[in-house]
Amino acid sequence: MILRTFEARRDMAIEELRGVLAEQGLRFGYGTLWRFFARHGLTRKKRPPMPPSRPVPMC
């Protein structure tokens, strides 16, 4: 349920996610959700990841 809600809106803050989950009858603490995302290697970035920049050779 957490992942489904997260995938619907990846830019949602943890507090906002807690509110949405609470409306569905699921109550989690802030730290619980933080650890959940860390454990699964998920980030809640507002911007999509950027490709690595190419190094510019110096003369």
Alpha carbon distance, N-terminus to C-terminus of the chain: 54
* CA 57 to chain CA mean position, Å: 36
* C-alpha closest to that of 2 among 46, 57, 54, 27: 27
Query: Any residues with CB less than 8 A from the CB of 28 and at least 6 apart, and which?
Result: 2, 18, 21, 36
36 has pLDDT over 90: yes
Report the mean per-residue pLDDT for the chain: 85
Sole residue written with tokens 């050779």: 57
What pLDDT is recorded for position 50? 67
26 has pLDDT over 90: yes
Domain positions in the chain are 2-39
Lowest mean pLDDT among 4-8, 26-30, 35-39: 4-8
